[in-house]
Structure 1
Amino acid sequence: LHNWDPIEGFELWDNWSKQDKESYAKNKENYTTQEKWQTFKSNNIQNKLTIGTLIRKVKMIRERKNWKELIPVNNPFNHPKIRTDSLPNKLQDYAKSLARMAEVDETVITMGLFGIISTILSSHYYVSPKPDWRESVNLYTIIALPSANNKTLILRNISQPLKDWEKAKSTEKDLIIEKQKEKLKIWNLQLEYKRKQICKSKTLDEKNHLEREIDRLIDSKPEVDHKIKLFGNNFTSESLLQDLYEQKGKLSLIADEGGLFETLFGLYTGGKTNFDIVLKGIDGGTEKMKRKSCEFHIPEIYLSMVLLVQPAIITKLHNRSSTQGVGLEERFIYLLPKILLGHRKLDDYSIPIGLKLNYDRLCQDLLDIVYSLDEPIKLLLSDTAKSEFYKFRADIEKELGPGGSLSNILGWGGKLCGYVLRFAGLIHVVDNYPIRNQEDNTTISLETMQKAIEIGNILIEHAVYAFGFNTSASKTTDRVVVWLKKILSSSRDRFTQTDLYKEFRIPAKDIKPDLDLLIECNYIKIANYKNDHAKKDTTVYLINPKLKDFK
């Protein structure tokens, strides 16, 4: 205050001192307040503290609390786990046991089992946080695993109850389908006979009568059911469409290879891509298609996917020019679990038979329930669950903004809240089954929503890394970090692109990847300021004050 203005500063200081009447009276006995004021004068003009500096330091302390924790740029991704306790309670023990037997990170088993639940419940349940929002519970999941990680073993174990249920239902339906086929054969013969008769008709009345009979016959064409097919592991675009039609729009892809993407990229169609069914299948899209022999109309498509693939498949998916801008990449959940190769026990552990039977029974009970439902069941959020979800939405909205963790993957980030609702729905239905109608427990609890949100937060880290926006630090990044610390030590907390160029003489486009990494790891963030002397706003980079003491 003394350096700011000796006169006005004295009045402010004197009034402030008078608030403590006892100390003020005691000090006045020794010297006047003016005498004390003069002792505050600094002998070293370089060390003076002005009111502007004081305000700036207070702002820096306040801003320090608003910054996220720094992530070391030389190790930005630590393969965060989605643990087995994220699953519905009835699946957790089985998941732990399978992870131990397969000797893989528990993330693999957890997300694989979510995929199986999604396969079962898809199209039969949906979550509605508000009247105009309907979120289905099917998932598109890609788990990246190199060779020798027991992918086939894992998928065989988690999908076996589905195969057994399929087989049992097919046996029950075989006789019914045979009878329906016989009826259809007789119908075809009758239709052919009537058509021959109409050609031989001699009078107009006879012809009109036969036409009416043919119309009635066509209207009464017997239907032939199809065998239930829950999932497959290898499709062409045509066979996928045919199976979806036969299964009334519901199907799952469960595979340990990336063949699906080869199909999408045009392996069987001369390079012509076909993403439409996958794009529509995430949220109940409609498909209409005409062929020479028939016409397809699928009112709602609900696909689910559990794909355990080589990591290179994810890179291939992102690097294909044909996938850019169509929304294909953004529809998948990406998992890059920690690889345990080289550190496995390689013992003879097996899943206890009791756990396996419980898992089989649970899956088959759920299948019996969903295939007996007349219409989909709506799941609602409790008041506390809804409040928690909307807080999460607000947090995600900030991360989608400039400098946020999702700013580079807006398409994926925009779908994250929907993914969280889907996980909440899956957890709720399994933990509270049987849910056969709206009168059963259809309200998702706070605890379930918190589980789903925790999964969503972890998925962000995996997605950022999978999309390639979180790479190891370069030498330039390290140099920039040293420079940022130097700026902070001089009591500054920001810099511009001009400052950056003057220091490093590197064009903006060449240093952008380093800045993106520093933003991702919470070292800096972008702020735009109005510049009255320029047409555009000035881009300023704020420096995380925590960096000053960060090693």
Structure 2
Amino acid sequence: MTLHSASGPDDNVFPFPGPDGAPPNDLQAEQAVLGALMLNPAVLGDVAAVMDAGDYYRPAHETIHRAIMDLGEAADPITVTDALRRSGDLARVGGGAYVSGLVSATPTAANAEYYAAIVRETAKRRRLIEAGTRLVQAANTPGADADTLRAVLAVPTEPEPAAWPDPVPLTAARTLPAFPLDTLPGWLKEYVAGVAEESQTPPDMAGTLALSVLATAAGGRAVVHIRGRWREPVNLFTVVALPPANRKSAVFAAMTNPLYAAEKALGEAAAGRIVEAELTARLAREVAETAAVKAAKADDGPERDQLVAEAIGLAQTAEGIAVPPQPRLLVDDATPEAITSLLAEQGGRLAVLSAEGGIFDIIAGRYSGTPNLEVFLKGHAGDRLRVDRRSRQEFVEAPALTMGLAVQPSVLEDIARVRGFDGRGLLARFLYCLPASMVGSRRIITEPVAPAVADAYEVNVTSLTKALADWTDPAVLQLTPGADALLIAFQERLEPQLAARGGELGHIGKWAGKLAGTVARIAGLLHLAAHLTNGHTRPVTEDTMAAAVELGDYFTAHALAVFEAMGADSTVTRAATVLDVCRDNRWRTVSRRDLFTKLSRTDFPTAADLDPALSLLEEHGYLRLEAVLPRPRTRGRKPSPRYEIHPALSGDE
């Protein structure tokens, strides 16, 4: 179908000046562009990237194009016709029939970008001809000098590609919040602040370790009843990461020393019972053995039967005498098997506290060759732990394992690569603390912790540990209605952030999914620390829950930073891999296909897996899609997109 405009028929196409002197134009291409835009508004962006309304030769087409752009994705022959009628331009462009005919005259909307390139090319040629005409006219003007001719010769050219701005880092530096000291009970707050001042370390380290100390004292001996059947034990996994020379060992010792003192006191108190039980058991076994020998020597008959029965009874009595274990609260360098045995022996309560990260190597299989996570996963959650081996059988009804570690940041990067740590949820169980190092700005002369403050800390931690040590059934801590309402509000705020797509915490959903329960655990610990002697008789208040929520928000910010460093966001991780490949090859441009061949199939199983990373790198200014002249749609393979690469990656900047 050949279209005619209202201004007169023109069936010819003149890519070059025709016999009648018409400047370069291609009316069929112009009509195809407009038809494609109304046939499939999704190509609006493709066309806009190639040409604009001023590139049309026929003014009517420019008017129709602007009407389509104003309508956007709502453009079709009916809406465009209505818009032109309301603006008073419909008759001038050829009427409704001409607008509708544009669609029927378009072979396919798929080639809209190609049609637009033709229109753009003829527009550029027209402008060159106009510039040449101006030059001829100027040269024939009497008195024209060379400067005038040079000014006329200044033909507008295509804009040069924009200069490369500095790229935006893939992971923006986060300003992490400082540890909220006011959330701690008075005696604990004063000691944490005092230790931080004396050691010239961030309060975050002592504050996070303080929570581990409380969890060691109360773990396995108290649970928080939230609602229904939901109960949370009060043990925690925490890890503080600071570079070397940040006095981790000194702070660690200052915070944990009372626990060792409490462990020693519990051992001394149990020593008498242990000796008595051991002696009683030994005597009972000797009596049973004597009775067994006597029964064996007796002649058959009623007397022998009676002696045998007595021997069996004495043996059962001896076997039933339990010897209390030596009380243990703490371990450091221990295998998962040893930790399991200690948990069973200590009634389910144990803490792994260390100023180093060696326990991660042990979990990963330093001694066994394979990761052993079971005791750590169940020990955090409080799930039943049963071990059946040829050499032993152990059962823990409700294990409560606490972990408090102070490590170097590189340890966190290493554990992220250990098989099973993330997939099975071990990393999701830790509260992470990533404070800023004070090295280089520390004061040399500092105020030591006040003796009264240090004494109060030691007495309170020791007392809390010893007071709960003999509890066999855990103390159940209830919530006040206000505390429960506050926790519900926190859950409602948290839930949308867990969405896998679009949620702020979606990429660390395994960790954030446990956050509400962790906040309840922290609330229970703060409550016990505030009521050292009668916490089990009083409910957790709204103020205590508010403090726990504040700590939950603090640890969330730090967890985001840590998981970013671990590569939890797969798109960011893959984008960083693409950057490394571009930097190593010092490319200035590269096609998507060539880039894909250089990447590992482990990271990028298919070419489609590359697209999110490329889009992210474009957004951050590392890549720029190279403009190329489109080709009409054919049966052959579509050309691979080509990208310009930031000069900084190739070493040019």
Q: Structure 1 counterpart of 2:445, which letter? A: D
TM-score, normalised relative to structure 2 = 0.60
What does residue 162 of structure 1 align with?
259
**Correspondence 1:124 to 2:224:** no
1:397 deviates by: 1.3
What does residue 344 of structure 1 align with?
442
What does residue 241 of structure 2 align with?
144
Distance 2:220 2:375 in 1: 16
**Correspondence 1:510 to 2:591:** no
What does residue 278 of structure 1 align with?
376
Query: Quick one: which of 543, 560, 575 aligns to 1:447?
Result: 543
Give the conservation status (yes or no) of the 8 Å contact 1:474–1:514.
no
Distance 1:330 1:126 in 2: 21
What does residue 398 of structure 1 align with?
496
1:263 deviates by: 1.4
Q: How does 1:270-419 map to 2 (within 5 A)?
A: 271-291=369-389, 294-373=392-471, 375-401=473-499, 402-419=501-518
Distance 1:398 1:514 in 2: 27
Query: Quick one: which of 336, 339, 345 aligns to 1:240?
Result: 339
Q: Structure 2 counterpart of 1:512, which letter? A: P
Residues 84-134 of structure 1, C-alpha deviation per residue, up to 9 Å, x if partnerless?
Answer: 222223311111110111212111111110110111011222112202100
What does residue 527 of structure 2 align with?
428
Give the conservation status (yes or no) of the 8 Å contact 1:142–1:307.
yes
Distance 2:328 2:230 in 1: 29
Give the conservation status (yes or no) of the 8 Å contact 2:194–2:449.
yes
**CA 1:94–1:198: 2 relative to 1, 3 Å:** same
Q: Structure 2 counterpart of 1:241, which letter? A: T
**CA 1:431–1:126: 2 relative to 1, 3 Å:** same
Give the conservation status (yes or no) of the 8 Å contact 2:375–2:385.
yes
Give the conservation status (yes or no) of the 8 Å contact 1:373–1:436.
no
Distance 2:253 2:462 in 1: 16
**CA 1:267–1:519: 2 relative to 1, 3 Å:** farther
1:475 deviates by: 12
Residues 459-494 of structure 1, C-alpha deviation per residue, up to 9 Å, x if partnerless?
Answer: 2222222223477997999xxxxxxxxxxxxxxxxx
SS in 1 for 2:226: strand
The structure whose RCO (Cα within 8 Å, separation 6+) is larger is 1
SS in 2 for 1:325: coil
Give the conservation status (yes or no) of the 8 Å contact 2:429–2:511.
yes
Query: Quick one: which of 544, 557, 563 aligns to 1:461?
Result: 557
Give the conservation status (yes or no) of the 8 Å contact 1:86–1:110.
no
Q: Structure 2 counterpart of 1:180, which letter? A: A
Give the conservation status (yes or no) of the 8 Å contact 1:254–1:305.
yes
SS in 2 for 1:98: helix
Distance 2:390 2:64 in 1: 93
Distance 1:231 1:340 in 2: 29
Distance 1:86 1:519 in 2: 40
How many positions carry a matched residue from both structures? 432
**Correspondence 1:182 to 2:279:** yes
What does residue 12 of structure 1 align with?
none
**CA 1:52–1:265: 2 relative to 1, 3 Å:** closer
Unaligned runs of 5+ in 2: 1-62, 74-167, 580-605, 621-653
**CA 1:130–1:235: 2 relative to 1, 3 Å:** same
Residues 4-59 of structure 1, C-alpha deviation per residue, up to 9 Å, x if partnerless?
Answer: xxxxxxxxxxxxxxxxxxxxxxxxxxxxxxxxxxxxxxx99969998999xxxxxx
Distance 2:618 2:380 in 1: 34
**Correspondence 1:97 to 2:194:** yes
**CA 1:103–1:127: 2 relative to 1, 3 Å:** same
Residues 271-305 of structure 1, C-alpha deviation per residue, up to 9 Å, x if partnerless?
Answer: 02211111111122222334556532222210011
SS in 2 for 1:409: helix
1:149 deviates by: 1.2
Q: Structure 2 counterpart of 1:76, which letter? A: A
Give the conservation status (yes or no) of the 8 Å contact 2:371–2:420.
yes
**CA 1:50–1:515: 2 relative to 1, 3 Å:** closer
Q: Structure 2 counterpart of 1:228, which letter? A: P
